[in-house]
Structure 1
Amino acid sequence: MKNLFVIVLLLISSLSFAQTAEEKAQANNPLASITAFNLQQYYSSNLSGNSEATQSSYWMRFAKPTGRVLWRASLPINTYSNPELGVSRSGLGDFDLFGAYLAVSKPTLSVGIGPSLSAPTATHSSLGTGKWTAGAAAVAFASVSPQFQMGGLVIWRTDVGGDANRNDVNFMAIQPFAFWQVSNGMYFRTAPTWNFNLEKGEYNVPVGFGIGKIVKVGSTVCNFFIEPQYSVLHYGDNQAIFQLYSALNMQF
């Protein structure tokens, strides 16, 4: 299962379907005013503090525009394995919701800002925070040209309720991204997520470079990609040193 998206990308890499320049430019836009469903995975084979441990997160993500607000709901399936300790757990993680008000919505620039919430839906204590969290998020996407797009996402949240025996939550995530369209729907990409645990002072700053393919099947724009990422700065246990980020994103 961990190589599912790799296999899919290889199978479709030679295919070419008609897409417009706008569809290719908007396929990676997190603020595209289009109903979308994404299947994304982060798989790490090397964690700080224990080189034998591995972790994986499959994200199911649904986005739906309502007027000038784009709603994005996400639910992960998390797996953590530590052979040294004889630990292996898999189950649902915490449910995530982001409501982005489109303060700017132009063909070449989109800017969204709004509340970011999460609910403690994890099926095991090690797979979630055990807390209700709330905060804010902001995202910007610029289509500099039909060939080049760039932008960034910033999320901050803190706990507002939940299990009093669990650790407090205060974290920030920053995701810069850039995409370079090549030809026939193929493109290069970088979209690492920098995580900062402000409560514990832990952090992880990876860099990444990957490749993707955009194809249109009927009226659905499908975006397949794979991006290896390596941590250049990290502090704290169970930080992903090397991880593979892959996905199938669909816009309807």
Structure 2
Amino acid sequence: MSKKLATASVLAMSSALTLGTSATAAEKSSEELAKQLSNPVAALISVPFQYNYDENIGPDDKGSRHTLNIQPVIPMDISEDWNLISRTILPIIDQTDIAPGSGNQTGTGDVLQSLFFSPKAPTENGWILGAGPAFLLPTGSDDLLTADKWGIGPTAVALKQSGPWTYGALVNHIASVAGDDDRADVSSTFLQPFLSYATPNGVTYGVNSESTYDWKGNEGAVPINFQINKVTKIGGQMIQYGAGLRYWAQSTEAGPEGLAFRLNFVLLYPK
């Protein structure tokens, strides 16, 4: 990671702590929103924009990638006791030299669409649960930005919120069912354990891993993310913003290595 990028990331993290001070009533609202944002199946409409930068990609470690994930979350009330949570991830990617001679590609990647059926009430032990199907849609605009496969599989989440703490895990597995016969089949597992702490003024400190394992290629990746986010209001719009560092504890043979960083901006529409 370049010195310039590392400096920018540290400055962004500092601003996430120092910008915006709320009145006492607003702080309580910010704390509750911060806890809801730590819950993947909360009944909260939100539109996150997540920017990621990774480098040292490819067999010669000369590649880099900018990814903007647009991730709308839409909860739907389907009965007195159940919600259906729609979570979509649309990546917009700009990458360079991820393989020798590959040059630059800019465009959309493949969409991951998840649907969680979630009870409105936690279990007797306080666990919040959700499960349903996940779909891989081959929306990539370039051969190097898509798997060119349609995929489907299960997804589930389990978490517990105790005071300011939220901890749990989200998992999915996607297997290809159709697509270009000349492209490799998809069989991939994603596991995201997470832990976060929300303060009364809407600041959240979080750590997670977004680990993946490719069962066809028999290789996995384990990035560890450290993030600081802040809930505040600009005009009449509630938002969350923040930044974080990522360390690739393990990567695939041609995957990213070393340090990377993330910026986060979320539009919030509380009921």
TM-score of the superposition, structure 2-length normalised? 0.83
**Residue 179 of structure 1 corresponds to which residue in structure 2?**
196
Mark the runs of 5 or more structure 1 residues left unpaired by the alignment. none
User: Structure 1's 216 and 105: CA in aligned 2 closer, same or farther, altered over 3 A?
Assistant: farther
Mark the runs of 5 or more structure 2 residues left unpaired by the alignment. 78-82
User: Structure 1's 88 and 72: CA in aligned 2 closer, same or farther, altered over 3 A?
Assistant: same
1:27 to 27, 34, 37: 37
**Residue 186 of structure 2 corresponds to which residue in structure 1?**
169
Distance 2:263 2:162 in 1: 25
**Residue 65 of structure 2 corresponds to which residue in structure 1?**
55
For residues 8-44 of structure 1, give each alpha carbon's deviation from its aligned partner in whole angstroms, at most 9, with x where no partner exists: 9727832123232422321222111111111012210
Report whether the alignment pairs 1:136 with 2:154: yes
Pairs within 5 Å for 1:1-252:
10=15, 13-17=18-22, 18-20=26-28, 21-47=31-57, 49-67=59-77, 68-82=83-97, 85=101, 87-103=103-119, 105-106=121-122, 109-145=127-163, 147-217=164-234, 220-252=237-269
Deviation at 1:74, TM superposition (A): 2.0
Distance 2:16 2:76 in 1: 35
TM-score of the superposition, structure 1-length normalised? 0.89
SS at match of 2:35: helix
Query: Contact 1:230–1:241 at 8 Å: present in 2 too?
Result: yes
Distance 1:58 1:47 in 2: 17
Larger helix share, 1 or 2: 2
Distance 1:105 1:221 in 2: 25
Larger strand share, 1 or 2: 1
For residues 91-123 of structure 1, give each alpha carbon's deviation from its aligned partner in whole angstroms, at most 9, with x where no partner exists: 011122111000463395421100000111110
Distance 1:248 1:141 in 2: 23
AA aligned opposite 1:72: R
**Aligned CA-pair RMSD:** 2.6
Distance 2:115 2:189 in 1: 17
Deviation at 1:216, TM superposition (A): 3.5
SS at match of 1:50: coil
Max Rg structure: 2
AA aligned opposite 2:55: S
**Residue 80 of structure 2 corresponds to which residue in structure 1?**
none
Query: Contact 2:54–2:256 at 8 Å: present in 1 too?
Result: no
For residues 156-196 of structure 1, give each alpha carbon's deviation from its aligned partner in whole angstroms, at most 9, with x where no partner exists: 00101011110110001111111112452223111220011
Tell me the percent identity: 21
Deviation at 1:225, TM superposition (A): 2.2
